[in-house]
Amino acid sequence: MLGALVCIGMLASCAVQPPAKSTAAAPAVMPSAASSSTPSPSSEPPVAAAPAPVVVTPATIQTAQRQATAAIELLEAGNEEQASAELQRAVQNDPNNKLAQSLLRQIQVDPVATLGREHFIYRVQAGESISRIAQRFLGDVHQFYILARYNDLKVPKQLQSGQMIKVPGKAPPASTANAVPVGPKPSPAANATPASAVTPVPVQSSAVSTAPTTDPAKLGEQERAAKVTASTKAARAAYARQDLVSAIRHWDSVLDLDPVNSNAKIERQRAVDLKAKLDKLK
C-alpha cells in the first residue's frame, strides 16, 4: 500500500513540472528579434552627391552674352516664355551675367510693386521706343521690359508715336515732361546769335550768292543722324557676335557724332566691361 502511494506522488510531481524546453526557447528568440530591428549599414539611403561647380570660361561668358542679347529681341517681340528659357541658359553658362539676371527679374517680379504705384502719363514722341523711354526716366535702357509690363504692353516694340503710357515716379517739370522729344538734337541754327546782335560786314555785290536758300545746318543734322543710326546698328551687331573691339569702335563713332548720346555711353561701357572680364580669364 505504501509503495502505491509513493508511485502516485511521483506521478503527480511529474505532471506539474513545466517542460524543460519551454524556458530555454524564450531567450533564444530575443536576440534574433533585437538584431532584426536594427537596420544594417547596407540599408541606409545613399548620400546625394554635391552638384558640380560651374566652370566659367571665356567661351561660356560669350555664349551667355549672346543668349542674353537674343532674349532682348524675344522680349521686344513679346515671346516671354522663349526669352525666359534663353535667359536661364545664359545664367547657367555665366551665373554673373548681370544682363541676364536683370531681364529674368523683370519677367518674374510684380512691376507695380517694384516700380511703385505713383506715376505720370507720358505721350510717346516720334521715333521713341520703350527702351529709350526706360533710359530717359528709369536710367537703364534694359529696364524696357518691366516698363512694358507696367503698361501691360504685350509686344513692346509695337509702341506707337502719340500713345499715352504710364511712367513710374513723380512727373518732371512741365517744360520737360512731354515737350522735349527724345530724338535728333535741335538744329544749331536754333541757338544761333540773333541777327540784330551781329555787326553787319559789308561785302561786294559780286560776292552775294544766288544759290537757292537751303539750310546747310539742317542737311548736316540729317546726315549726322543717319550716320549715328548706321553706327549704332553696326555696334549692336558686333556686340551680338561678340566682336567687342569692333563694337567699341562703332560706339566711339557714335559718340564722335553725338557726344551726349546716353545709350551709346551705356552700351559702350558694357562692351568695355565685358572685354575686360574676358581678358582676365585668358
**pLDDT 10s digits, 77-136:** 999 999 999 999 999 999 999 999 999 999 999 999 999 999 999 999 998 999 999 999
**Spatial separation of the C-alpha atoms in residues 161 and 116, rounded to whole Å:** 25
Q: How confident is the model at residue 13 (pLDDT cuts 50, 70, 90)?
A: low
What does CATH list as the number for 110-182?
3.10.350.10
pLDDT in tens, 85-99: 999 999 999 999 999
* E runs forming strands in the chain: 119-123, 164-168
Locate 10 and state its grid cell. Answer: 511521483
pTM to 2 decimal places = 0.53
Q: Which amino acid is at 144?
A: F
